[in-house]
Every structure is written in structure tokens, then in C-alpha cells.
Chains A and B, each alone.
Chain A
Amino acid sequence: MLMFVVRRLGLMILTALALTFIVFFLTNLRPNLEKLARTEGSVRMSEEAVDQWIIQNGHGGSVFVRYGEWMGLMPGWVLTDEKGTVRGRCITATNTPETAPRYCGVLQGDWGFSTFFKKPVLDSLGEKLAATGWLMLAVMLVMVPASLLIGVLSGMREGSRTDRALSTFSIASTATPEYVSGVILVALLASPVVGLSPLLASWGWIEGKTLFLGTATSAIDDITFWNFTLPVMTIALYGIGYIARMTRASMTEVMTAQYIRTARLKGVSFGAVVVKHALRNALIAPFTVIMLQFPWLLNGVVIVETLFNYKGFGWTLVQAAGNNDINLLLGCSVVAVFVVLVTQLISDVGYVFLNPRIRLS
């Protein structure tokens, strides 16, 4: 067991390094740097000036060295420019070349400065992540119970009417990506001119103009049912369908297993067969799926935060990419990679725990 965790962790670190390196490489491509030079310096910089700027700001050198510096595995660069001032990665307004630490990268907690937010990446990411955390939490609270329930209900009697209805629902919901369901939900529930809201308003059933709010900007300060329902539902809907289908597949497979027949022919009632005998075996597969859903959930977050203008992590990612804010984008990637890998680890460990066959052999 210990061996397993150690190996798993080693692999995780290797994956994290590889992923961050790829991101670093792709964000620090020459054209991106030139663009950065022009936005930071001046748009009308000459080619030479751009080259100069890039070297002066420590973006010269080999990509491996720069990655090492950024990661904090190698000493930060130090250069003396033509005016004779010593500049360096770790030299900021608050310290001098002498007092500056040698290493200052992600590992040291120095994630660089965001050109978009005009403040350190770590600070800006922190608050955005908190905002997204609430969103994710709400999504999980809706998605997991709903999808497991749907999956188990439809899988326990394959081919029944309940199964047909629920399966159709889950297929439809997996066919609806967030940017589609978001648009439809807003048009249906949050538009003052079409959909349900004008109707409800005219009947006097709702106080405001719309049933729900079509943007979630205000939810940053104050989460309410009114402004948060649509974004949460939009993300959850796709996931519900997907997890429910996995659960159903796993459940139907378990329900045809010989040991379920054994239980039934022991005289166990149907309810007890499902709860005592089938459920645990059937939930092993969906558990891993839920955990592996995270990369996709991050997608949903990006889309929904853009669509509903909720200034969280996803929104930040889009801004960083759109504004060529290299440090911010790198920061976002580190967080994304971290989240994904941690969930993968949880999924692996959880699988082992749920499955006595693996745990004990």
C-alpha cells in the first residue's frame, strides 16, 4: 500500500512537471513574448528594441532555464542593463540586488506579476478561486446526489418505464454542452421578453421581471438563489447526464450479476437487494468517473463564468489568455493541473478503498 502511494505520488509529480512545462513552453513562445514586449513597452517598438526588451526582461535564454527559474528550481536571472542598474527576476521594489533571494519561483510562492490585474498573480488568483470554489461546491451538491439517484433508479430495473424516461433525460442532458444549456436556460427563465418570466410576471407570481437572474456578477458579493441557480444548473446538467449514464451502466451490469440472483433467490426483498447487495458494487465505477470529471468540470466553469459574467477562476483564465497575461495564465494552469491531479489521486485511492478485492490482495 505504501509502495503504491509513493509510486503514485512520484508519477503525479512527474505529470505535474511535464504539464507545467508544456504550458510554460506554449505561453512563452516567441510571438507571445513579442506581443508582451509591445504591450509593456510601446506598440511601435522596432524589431531590435523588441529583442532587446525580451532579453532585458529575462525571457532570453533557453526555455528549460526559464522554466527552472519560473518554477523556482533554478536561481532567478540577474542582468545589468545599459543604464547600469541591476535587474533580476527576484529583485523587486522592496528588496535590493543584495538582499534578493536567489530562488523565486512558483515553489517559493512567487507566481509573478499579473499585467492584467496589475497585482501579484497569487493574490488575484486567491480571491477568484474562492469564488469558483463556491460555484463548484454548489454544483457538486446538486450534481452528485441527483446523478447517482437517477442512475441507480434507472439501472435497477433495466428496460422499465422509469428507466426509459430517466435514460432519455440523461442522454439529452449529455447532448447539451454548457454553452447551449446556459443560453436556453437564460432565454427560458431569465429573459424579461420571452420564455416563462413574462408569463409568470403577468400572472403576478414573481416579484421582479424575471424568475432568475441571467448574470451572476452580483453573486461574487452575495450568493442568492436568484442569481446563482442558473450558473449552477448549467454546469450540473451536463455532468448529471454523464454520471447518471455511468451509474446506470454499472448498476445494470451489477444487477445481472450472478450474486444478485443468489441474493434474490435467498429471499432478499428487491429493495434490500438493491441497497445491500448492488449499490456498493455499482458505485465503484461512478466514483472514479465523478473524480475524473474534474477536468471537464473546469471547462464548464470557464464557459459558465464567461456566459454569466461571474468573476471567478474560469473568467480569470479567459482574461489571462485574451490579454496575453503570461504569468496569470501560467498561474491558472498550475492551479488547474493541481486540481486535476489531486482528484485523480483521490479517485485511485478511493477505488482501492471501495473495492475489497484490490484492497486486500
Chain B
Amino acid sequence: MTTSADTAWDPSKPILEIDHLSISFFTRLREIPAVMDFSCKVMAGEAMGLVGESGCGKSTVALAVMRDLGKNGRIVGGTIKFKGRDLTHMGEEELRHIRGSEIAMIYQEPMASLNPAMKIGAQLAEVPMIHQGMSRADAWALARQIVADVRLPDPDRIINAYPHQLSGGQQQRIVIAMALMSKPALLILDEPTTALDVTVEAGIVDLVKDLGKKYGTSMLFISHNLGLVMDVCNRICVMYSGEAVETGAVTEVFEEMRHPYTQALFRSIPLPGADKNARPLISIPGNFPLPHERPKGCNFGPRCDYFQSGRCDAGEIPMFPVPNSDRHETRCAKWQEIDWLAEPAKRAVKQKAPIGKVVLKMEDLKKYYSVSSGAFGGGLKKVVKANETLSFEAREGETLAIVGESGCGKSTFAKVLMGLETATSGSILLFDENVQSTPIQQRNTDTVSSVQMVFQNPFDTLNPSMTVGRQIIRALEIFKHGSSDEDRNRRMLELLDLVKLPRAFADRMPRQLSGGQKQRVGIARAFAGGAKVVVADEPVSALDVSVQAAVTDLLMDIQRENRTTLLFISHDLSIVRYLSDRVMVMYLGHVVEMGTTDQVFQPPYHPYTEALLSAVPIADTKVIRKRIVLEGDIPSAMNPPPGCPFQTRCRWKSQVPGGLCDREMPPVQVLEGGHNIKCHLSTEILQTMEPVIKMAAE
């Protein structure tokens, strides 16, 4: 079929060559130039990482390569050459032969990418049947083999299963298997792990790397996570607002970045290797420009520290090659003048408030849900143990981080504390008052207003049909703040000041705000009644990295000023390390480890914490990380394993004599300094653990 083209193609030439590509979406109101003048090259066997903030056009580039931009998207300029053939002018039929056989794509949402009504095997076998004209039986046999290749247990069962019968991690492996069915020359991965838990992500990333090597596939790897790109790719292309701003070899760009945006990006992410006081986060000021509101000249101009009017906003800025480098280029007019080694200006950090008396104390808290199993209701009632014997205390002015992956019971715990659910047993002492069985309707206004919450999803946290001001005022009304409407209005404006939003935002509707701005309003609302305890449920995980830093810092500043107790729920260990005083690690409803930040981030670890730490990708070339990849997925809370909850994935289990882990719930060991670990491992073995993260010798 395409063999003539294959043989004509010279492997020393790039597999994919994108040249001055411009893509626009045409809506009724205007043309949206999503990608402008984008160029990049992927050589055979190379993995190219594409990073940038949400909306910068990463996916658009990927879909343009597949020529699948939808009805209103169009390539308005430039070329995309695949093995020397121009894709932009290719006919539908010709494209069809390339799609799936020579270029394959993997997306973010594995569940949505698989047809719910078709067996896995059929979906996989389809690929070689279309492209190689393989017989059905052969195709199924191949499918089975590839399923084994992506390290899925029991391939025979899996190819006969439907997608919903698999877990998220397994589904993503199937999607990868599907992409590999006809051994494509180029694999495009659009945020393939964003929907997965970190420990599962680590497994997938390993798999992708290995398979890339095994089959010699080139990759275009899209991610917003710099650490992940460093793990997977050898080249990187940083995008900003529809343009490539810097491109080069990963190590070069990470160590000697030559574009202010790249630099700002690195400064805004917490690196677990670095000390938080020596290296505070610096957020990028301002907002990402909308595609149709880009400034003249350099798109990054309005947010750039080095901006120089007359030069940066004079006109289009081309890509400048950096001499003596491996195809390193930057789109900055001043790149040669900037002192790239200068330390960033230190930000005034509010002094940490001393930690005060205990405000919240939980003892042996249990929360069980009873759910009916089976789709048709009725049937057997099952008990989901969402929280098992939680005990801890939190003090005034303290930040306690609660870390864990999906289903570990973080949000349940928040609900019980807030009074949206009542505890099954155990006690919650809030300001010396027992509240474990007082639902929120029966709590008095004082208690309610002093425990508030910041939510995860910025698009959901504000009521879309009420103005921002109105929503804050409503909170003030409910908390019986102020005696008149004017009073409350004034207070609302002060709250907007507090979260550093312009007062004019009071009259805006939520849809007119960016994600970070919405999150700020959410924070203002939480602090409206002078909250003493604030539960922040993954408040920044849905935001872009550059915005994350700003929102995190804001939260910390307000906390320090008001001596608030902050319960920070997160799965992101880097941020946790950056801002918390104490950390509590949860797994399947159990607290497996608890201690000060230093205790938790240094050995001895709980085996789960160790794996979690090792799974977090780190965007720092100087850090050496021990690779521990956990087998399998997180068990469902509906039927947890007997004995230790972590025993199905634990690599230390063999060190415990007598198969104790399979049978008995481990006890809580209290190590020195009040460091709690819930594990059967003996103290001696715990002491032998090595740190997961080490700084490479300079």
C-alpha cells in the first residue's frame, strides 16, 4: 500500500516536520487563531515533548497532525510533513491509510476513548484488519499478544471484556495497545496520564518509554507537566499562546533556558528537591491572553519581567537559534542580553505565625457508607469503609496536609468535618465542642462560619448564574455579618481586595473569570465569615502551574494573617511539601503515615509514601529519583483486601515474617518525634530505607 512511500523516505530525515503552521477556528463571532507560525521537527526514534498552559494550542497541533480539527477548524498556513509527504493537502482516503497505521494517537480520557458497546478485542483487532487486511483470527491473536505487551494481567479475559469492566489504568493501557497495533512510526500522546493517579501514572509512563524503545516509535508527547516531559522525552517544545517560544533538547532547555516564559514557568513550580524558604514560588503575573486578544509583538510581553517597549512590541519576533547547541531555539528578542543566572527578586513572605492551641481534634473517626451493590438496586447492601479510625489534631495557624490518591477517603473526611455527613463513630472536637453527629443544619452560625471549605473545580465552585459580588454577599448574609446591605457590600469589596481581585469584578458573572480568578472568589467566600478552620480540597489541582503558585501563596498569606488552621487536601506531594507543617498520608480510608513534613518526606517511610514520592515527576535535572513502580491499581473501597490495605501493591511485604500483612491490620508504630507509621515492618527494617529523592552531586 504505502510501501513505495516508505522506501522513498530516508530515515535520517525527520519523521514529522511541522513548518510555520497556523490554525484557526472559525466561530460565528470571529476567527480564533489558535496556533500561529508553529514549527517543530521530530526525528526517527525521538520523543518530543510539547508543554504549555491550558489553551495554548497543544491539542490543536496534535489534531492538525491527524487532520481532525472538526468542522470549524482549518489549517490556514504552513505545512505538516510526515515522512516527507505533506499532510495538509492529503485527501480523505489517503489520510485514512495513515491514521492508525502510521500515526496513532492516545488521549487524556481513557474511558471516553473506548467504545462502551464493543469488546476490547474487537476494538483492537479492527486496526490490523483495516490496515493490513489481516484475518479476524490473526488480528485477535495479535491483539492478545499486544495486550500482554502492555503488561496487563490475564490477556484472554481482557480481550473479551467491555471497557467499563476495567479500571482507569487498565483502560489507558488498552488505548496504548490500540495505538501500537500496527506499529506506527509516530505516536501522539495528548496528556495520556492526566486523568490517572500518580502511582498509576508512573506505571504508564514507564510503559510508554519502554515501548517507544522497543518499537522504535517516535513520539509527540503533550503535557502540562514539565517533570513528566523530562521523564519521557529527549526534546521539548514550550508553547505559549499559540506559538512555540522555545525548543531544544530537554536537558538543555531545563538547565539553560533562554526564554523568559520558560524561566517563569520553572520558577512557579515547587521542586521537591529545593528548600521552600530558599526557593519560594514565583507566580507569573497577569493572565494568559485569549487567542483573539493577543498583544502586538511578543505574546508574552505583558507578563514579562524583561519587557522593553519599542523592541518587544515592535513586530513579529522570529525564532532565534542559540549557538553551540543541539537545535536550541528561542522566540525572545532580548535573549542575548538577559542575565539568565540572576536570582529572582525575593518576594516578601509573610512571617509564619506561631502555632497555637488545638482547635480541631478527631478521635477514632469512622465513616461507613452502606451502598446497594448491583445496578438494579435492591440486592445486597455493602458497606464502604470510607474512613477508618482517623485520629489527629490540628492547631491554630497550622497547615495540615492530607495526601492520598483517588478513593482514599479525603473528601469523605472533609464532608464529615463540615457536617454534610455525620460520622459513623468516633468524635470530632471542634473548639472544644463535639460535632461528630451534628449535621450542618443544626450547627450554630458561629460554628458554621468558622469552618469553611475551598473546592477543587474552579468551573464548578461558583454558581454560574449569580454575580461574583452577590455570591460573597450571600455568604455574609448567612453568617449574619453586618447590619445593613451597605455594610455587607463594603465587606464584600474588602474581601475582593484580600484575594487581590479588582473591585469591578463584583458585578461580573463567573463565566467572565479565568479559573484562577474563580478560585480566588471561592477563597474570598470561604473567608467571608472569618473562618478559623479552612478545608481546601485540591484547591489548585485544576489550575495551570503558573496560576497554581499565585493561588497557593494567596491561601498561605491569608492563613498566616488570620492564624487560620488550614487542612490542605492534595495528591500533589510537591505542593504539600512546599506549604504544609504536618502531613497525613491516607490509603483506602486509613491514615498510613503521619508526621511533620520533614519526617514524612525523609526515611523511614511507610512503603506507600515511598512509592508515592517516587512516582511524582520532578522537573529538575539535578534530582535523582529512585524508581519504584507499583503493580496494579488501587483496590476499590467496596472490597478492600484483608489485612494491610496496601498489601496488594507493597514491595516490602516479603520483609514481614509469617504473612502477617495478608492477615492482620498493622498497628500504628510511633517513631521518634511523634512520627506515626501504620505498618508491620520492624523498626530495624524501616531504618534501612533509603531516601527516594537525592540531589545529584553538583
Q: Do chains A and B touch in the complex (CB under 8 A)?
A: yes
> Quick check: is B101 within 8 A (CB to CB) of the other chain?
yes
Residues of A within 8 A of B104 (CB): 265-266
Binds A, one of B105-113, B200-208, B650-658: B105-113
User: Please, which residue of chain B has its CB at the minimum distance from the CB of A282?
Assistant: B117
Per the 8 Å Cβ criterion, residues 343-361 of A in contact with B are 354-358, 360-361
CB of A159 closer than 8 Å to a CB of B: yes
Residue A7 lies at the interface, judged by CB distance under 8 Å to chain B = yes
Given A265-B104, A265-B105, A361-B164, A7 and B376 contact (CB-CB distance below 8 Å): yes
Interface string of B132-171 (1 = CB under 8 A from A): 0000000000000000000000000000001011000000
| A357 & B379 in contact (Cβ 8 Å cutoff) | no
Q: Which of B99, B115, B126, B377 contacts A265 (CB 8 A)?
A: B99
Is the Cβ of A266 less than 8 Å from the Cβ of B117? no
Chain A minimum-CB-distance residue to B119: A356
A281–B118 Cα distance when bound, in Å, is: 10
Q: Does A258 contact B (CB under 8 A)?
A: yes
Interface flags, B80-123, vs A, CB<8A=1, else 0: 00000000000000001111110011010100111111100000
The interface residues of chain B lying within 8 Å CB-to-CB of A264 are: 68, 99
Contact of B376 with A3 in the complex, beta carbons under 8 Å: yes
Interface centre among A7, A281, A356 (most CB of B within 10 A): A356
Return A288 CB to nearest CB of chain B, in Å. 15
Provide the bound-state CA to CA distance between A269 and B107, in Å.
20
Q: Which residues of B contact A277 (CB under 8 A)?
A: 115, 118
Asked if residues A357 and B116 are in contact (CB atoms below 8 Å), the reply is yes
In the bound complex, CA of A339 to CA of B438 (Å) = 50
Residues of chain A lying within 8 A (CB to CB) of residue B107: 258, 261-262
Output the least CB separation between A178 and chain B (Å): 35
A60 to B109, CA, bound (A): 68
Asked whether any CB of chain B lies closer than 8 Å to the CB of A296, the reply is: no
Of the candidates B97, B116, B379, which one forms a contact with A356 in the assembled complex, judged by CB atoms under 8 Å apart?
A: B116
B115 to A: closest C-beta gap in Å: 4
Contacts of B113 in A (CB 8 A): 258-259, 261-262
CB distance from A179 to the nearest CB of B (A): 40
Q: 1/0 per residue A277-288: CB within 8 Å of B? A: 100110000000
Q: Is there an interface contact between A267 and B375, defined as CB atoms closer than 8 Å? A: no
The answer, yes or no, to whether A307 is at the interface (CB within 8 Å) is no
- Does B545 count as interface, using CB distance less than 8 angstroms? no
Does B71 belong to the interface (CB within 8 Å)? yes
Give chain A nearest CB distance to B312 CB in angstroms: 39
A159 to B377, CA, bound (A): 40
**Across the two chains, which residue of chain B brings its CB closest to A1?**
B376
Which residues in B have their C-beta under 8 angstroms from that of A205?
none
> What sequence of 0s and 1s flags, for each residue 318-361 of chain A, a beta carbon within 8 Å of any chain B beta carbon?
00000000000000000000000000000000000011111011
Q: Which chain B residues border A358 with CB–CB below 8 Å? A: 375
Could you say which residues of chain B place their CB within 8 Å of the CB of A269? 96, 130
Determine how close the nearest CB of chain A comes to the CB of B631; give it in whole angstroms: 25
Which residues of chain A come closer than 8 Å to B375, judged between CB atoms? 358, 361
Could you tell me if A3 and B379 are in contact, using CB atoms closer than 8 angstroms? Answer: yes
> Closest residue of chain B to A355, judged by CB?
B117
Residues of the B chain whose Cβ atoms lie less than 8 Å from the Cβ of A259: 112-116
State how many angstroms separate the Cβ of B108 from the closest Cβ of chain A. 9
- Cβ of B127: which chain A residues have Cβ within 8 Å of it? 266-267
**Main secondary structure on A side of the interface with B:** helix
Q: Which residues of A contact B118 (CB under 8 A)?
A: 276-277, 280
User: Which of these, A3, A281, A361, contacts B117 with CB under 8 Å?
Assistant: A281
A268 beta carbon closer than 8 Å to chain B:
yes
Tell me the smallest distance from the CB of A346 to a CB of chain B, in Å.
16
Min CB gap A357→B, angstroms: 5
Contact status B99-A280, CB under 8 Å: no
B112-A258 in contact (CB<8A): yes
Q: Mark A1-35, 1 if CB is under 8 A from B, else 0.
A: 10110010000000000000000000000000000
Q: Which residue on chain A has the smallest CB distance to residue B378?
A: A3
Most buried by B among A1, A266, A277: A266
Known: A3-B379, A280-B117. A266 touches B68 (CB 8 A): no
Q: Which of B100, B178, B376 has the most CB of A within 10 A?
A: B376
Q: Are A261 and B68 in contact (CB under 8 A)?
A: yes
Chain B residues near A7: list those with CB within 8 A. Answer: 376-378
In the bound complex, residues from chain B placing their C-beta under 8 Å from that of A257 are: 112
Q: Say yes or no: is B131 at the interface (Cβ < 8 Å to chain A).
A: yes
Q: Using a CB-CB cutoff of 8 Å, which residues 360-383 of chain B contact chain A? A: 374-379
Contacts of B492 in A (CB 8 A): none
| A265 neighbours in B (Cβ, 8 Å) | 66, 68, 99-100, 104-105
- Nearest to A264 among chain B residues (CB) is B68
B-facing residues in A246-300 (Cβ within 8 Å)? 257-259, 261-269, 276-277, 280-281
- A263 to B178 Cα, complex, angstroms: 10
In Å, the complex CA distance between A266 and B115 comes to: 13
A267 touches B68 (CB 8 A): no
A267 and B164 contact, CB distance less than 8 A: no
Partner of B97, one of A159, A267, A361: A267
Q: How far is the CA of A72 from the CA of B376 in the complex (A)?
A: 33
With A and B bound together, what is the CA distance between A263 and B379 in angstroms? 37
Closest to B122 in A: A276
Residues of A within 8 A of B112 (CB): 257-259
Residues of B within 8 Å of A360, CB to CB, are: 162, 164-165
- A357 pairs with B99, CB closer than 8 A: no
Separation of A1 and B375 alpha carbons in the complex (Å): 9
- Chain A residue numbers with a CB within 8 Å of B101 are 267
B130 to A268, Cβ gap below 8 A? yes
1/0 contact string of A77-117 vs chain B (CB within 8 Å): 00000000000000000000000000000000000000000
Contact of B115 among A3, A281, A354, A355 (CB under 8 A): A281
- Closest chain A residue, CB of each to CB of B112: A258
Contacts of B178 in A (CB 8 A): 262, 266
Closest to A158 in B: B71
Chain A nearest CB: distance from B607 CB in Å? 32
Taking the closest CB of chain B, its distance from the CB of A168, in whole angstroms, is: 20
Question: CA of A261 to CA of B63 in the docked complex: distance in angstroms?
Answer: 10
Rounded to whole Å, the gap between the CB of B92 and the closest CB of chain A is: 8
Q: Kindly report which residue of chain B lies nearest to residue A269, judged by CB atoms.
A: B96
A266 touches B376 (CB 8 A): no
Q: Which residue of A lies closest to B376 (CB)?
A: A4
**Bound state CA distance, A259 and B377, in angstroms?**
29
Residue of B with least CB distance to A7: B378
List, in ascending order, chain B residues with CB within 8 A of A258's CB.
Answer: 107, 109, 112-113
- In the complex, chain A residues whose CB is within 8 Å of the CB of B115: 259, 262-263, 277, 281
Set of chain B residues within 8 Å of A266, measured between Cβ atoms: 99-100, 104, 126-127, 130, 178
**In the complex the two chains form, what is the Cα distance from A318 to B376 in whole Å?**
40
Across the interface, name the chain A residue whose C-beta is closest to B107: A258
Shortest Cβ distance from A281 into B: residue: B117
Q: Which residues in A have their C-beta under 8 angstroms from that of B109?
A: 258
A219 CA to B526 CA in the complex, in Å? 73
Residues in chain A near residue B116, CB distance under 8 A: 259, 281, 356-357
Q: Whole-angstrom distance between the alpha carbons of A357 and B165 in the complex?
A: 8
**Out of A267, A281, A355, which one reaches B99, CB within 8 Å?**
A267
How many angstroms from the CA of A360 to the CA of B162 in the assembled complex? 9
Report which residue of A159, A261, A269, A360 has the largest number of chain B beta carbons within 10 angstroms of its beta carbon.
A261
**What 1/0 flags go to A208-236 for Cβ under 8 Å of B?**
00000000000000000000000000000
Pick from B96, B175, B374, B378: contact of A267, CB below 8 A: B96
* Among B97, B105, B117, B127: residue with most chain A CB under 10 A: B117
What are 15 pairs between A and B in contact, CB < 8 Å?
A3-B378, A7-B377, A259-B112, A262-B114, A262-B115, A265-B105, A266-B100, A266-B104, A267-B98, A267-B130, A268-B126, A277-B118, A280-B117, A356-B117, A360-B165
8 closest A-B pairs by beta carbon, nearest first, are A267-B100, A258-B112, A266-B100, A4-B376, A267-B99, A259-B115, A280-B117, A356-B162
Q: Knowing that A261-B113, A265-B68, A269-B96 are A-B contacts, what are 17 other residue pairs whose CB atoms are under 8 Å apart, sorted by A's residue number?
A: A3-B374, A3-B376, A259-B113, A265-B66, A265-B99, A265-B105, A266-B127, A266-B178, A267-B96, A267-B99, A267-B127, A269-B130, A276-B126, A277-B115, A356-B162, A360-B162, A361-B374
